[in-house]
Structure 1
């Protein structure tokens, strides 16, 4: 991974760690209001209470997964954190797209912080941009993974 790629990878990770930490903190700091808004979402009733706790926990776990490989020097975990990130933001983007299309009727935004002030279409576009960034983050790891899978003995066979 060259220097520019590494800096872009770090910038994407920092951006998502900040986003997820911020939104999870906003949800947990104003938990009673967040819980009411989540209970008004259009999910199966038994799933709602799981999501009340699951969404901020998932955000914090993904944020941790994005920085943990650097803290414990585990380069193979770098891609896993980014794939988890892409899955989480893709789920949020799908939901905001459905909410923006009006398929659910009125739904309050339970995202927390400044995201709640966005309209659904603006929120959907915001999430699309972040989904694209998450996809770029996964794509950037391709060279690192390929390089990590090649051992010196294999390289020696191919060198003249």
Structure 2
């Protein structure tokens, strides 16, 4: 098996980073543009109804912040961990909804709204895999964060 050279690793990491940025910016803007629907659907979730208002405000902000951090090379390595972690949390929520919730709320807005929850979970797992790949391919951990 051939080892990837540094240029190939960089191109792969940059491609994965771009996909995460597109995903998170799109998701955040969709939530912000249809904030009321997003908040109401969160409120219908038996797992999140007590926290719907704060979650509806913070999730788009977190998605945009992670996107910004991924775009800044100095923070990219750590931001990829954040992106992976956020996708893991979203995936755990989907599993909890599918396994334990008597009510399955509307999944999301935008182009992803046509997905079933199972398809959404598979989509998330794909991005989890991309996150792992980017982290493992990262040439070396930056020595100085600031």
TM category, shorter:
0.7 to 0.9
- Is residue 124 from structure 1 mapped to residue 105 from structure 2 by the alignment? no
Instruction: Give the stretch that moved more between structures: 120-129 or 108-117.
Output: 108-117
User: 2-side partners of 1:118 and 1:80: how far apart?
Assistant: 30
Which of 101, 124, 144 is the aligned partner of 2:140? Answer: 144
Structure 2 vs 1, CA of residues 44 and 25 (structure 1 numbering), >3 Å: closer, same or farther? closer
Residues 8-157 of structure 1 aligned to structure 2 (within 5 Å)? 8-43=12-47, 45-69=49-73, 74=74, 77-101=75-99, 103-141=100-138, 143-145=139-141
Q: What is the aligned-residue RMSD (CA, Å)? A: 1.7
- 8 Å contact from structure 2 (residues 28, 63) kept in 1: yes
CA-CA distance at 1:44 after TM superposition: 5.1
How many residues are treated as equivalent by the alignment? 139
Asked if structure 2 preserves the Cα contact closer than 8 Å seen for 1:66 and 1:78, the reply is: yes
- Provide the TM-score with structure 1 as the length reference: 0.79
TM-score by length of 2: 0.86
Which has the bigger relative contact order, CA under 8 A and spacing at least 6? 2
Q: CA deviation digits over 1:83-112, x for unaligned, max 9? A: 1111101101111122233x1122223532
Give ranges in structure 2 of 5+ residues lacking alignment: none
Summarize the Cα distance change of 1:84–1:10 in structure 2 as closer, same or farther, 3 Å threshold: same
